[in-house]
Amino acid sequence: MKRLLVLATTALCVASNGIRADQQTPATLDIYFLDMVGGGSTLIVTPLGESVLIDTGSLEPKHRDADRIYRACRYAGMEHIDYLITTHFHSDHFGAILELTKRIPVKCFMDKGALPPKHEQENKRFKQLYPLYLQATGGNIKTIRAGDDIPLRNDPSGEIPQIKLHCVASEKQVEGFSGDIDAPVEGFTIKEPDTSDNGRSIALLLTYGRFKFFAGGDITWNIEHHLAHPVNRIRRVDLYQVTHHGLDQSNNPLLLKALNPTVCVAMNGPRKGIQPNTFAALKALPDIKAIYQIHYNTQYGDGGNTSADLIANAKGQEGGFIKVSVAPEKKIFTVSIGMKQRKKWFPIQ
């Protein structure tokens, strides 16, 4: 299957000039963690009204994930998506892209510029979904590599803090590291090489003023190690999207300690993540204030679940999302569940 990789400048990815209808001054940065029932889809809406969608969940059940993403976009006041980033080619992260593009236009598609390993290309699901991906994108896709920035607009007056979305890892390459990701490291636990597309995920760092948010897709243990050692390449963040739905083949404690988030959000399902080792590592972080989840985990009881008021779908229901809003002038960010849940306030570090 052939695709056209568009490596041209950002002129191919025309940014929106619209301002959000609900914008205040200074405007908030809003992040929506959507319920893909164990898949991935995160919507970012910038203070100047640009939108970034990271992943598109699953194709099946048909319409479910595309409808949920579309409703979130409309709720956020979006009439189009400026940037759609596919972190990697697993069915729970790019399955609904064609269905979504039938509902809302996308201005710029981005991915890591390479297909999955050959054995995954032979997977029945990939063979079904990748042609739909090419149909959705028209083959016009900009490649994101470690060290790249997504060209978000900033306020030239300086009245609104600068915003930046930066790629720190992609296609098993870590920014600032040129060695073998899977080579043994004395004094540290390195796991067997990840031969799936998970470890090749795009990992992103979003900054807005002093606020920092890390979303690592499904990157795995060894890649995470080199983000934290021997140099802490990301440093402390305020918000952490729990990598790989909370599975313990990811969420290397070395990286978790380096990030030391105030709040984390797990994009889990009822029977997928957060695994007990990950949950224990998150709870042990020195400055963690809250662990949010999309679903109650039916497998692990207290060993894999936060308190019920921090779970978007705590009673077996579906569709509840988690929203984070960042107000840098107040040096706080808020987290709420759905449209009616009372907000919780957290300090920006």
pLDDT at 316: 85
pTM for the model stands at 0.93
- Residue 276 in 3-state DSSP? helix
Domains, the chain: 24-344 (3.60.15.10)
Average pLDDT over residues 163-169: 98
How far is residue 185 CA from its own chain's centroid? 28
Task: Give the start-end residues of each E strand in 253-321.
Answer: 263-266, 290-295, 311-313
pLDDT over 50 at 174, yes or no: yes
pLDDT over 60 at 262, yes or no: yes
pLDDT over 80 at 347, yes or no: yes
Average pLDDT over residues 53-73: 97
How confident is the model over 210-259, as pLDDT tens digits?
999 999 999 999 999 999 999 999 999 999 999 999 999 999 999 999 99
Environment class of 302 (CB within 10 Å of its CB; exposed 0-12, middle 13-18, buried 19+): exposed
Average pLDDT over residues 67-89: 98
- Per the model's pLDDT, the better-predicted residue between 158 and 295 turns out to be 295
Rounded Cα–Cα distance for residues 43 and 20 (Å): 14
Structure tokens at 143: 């490649």
Of 114, 9, 24, the closest CA to residue 329 belongs to: 24
Average pLDDT over residues 255-281: 96
Phi, psi of 226 (to 5 degrees): -80, -10
**By mean pLDDT, which of 7-11, 93-97, 202-206 is the weakest?**
7-11
pLDDT at 12: 45
pLDDT at 13: 59
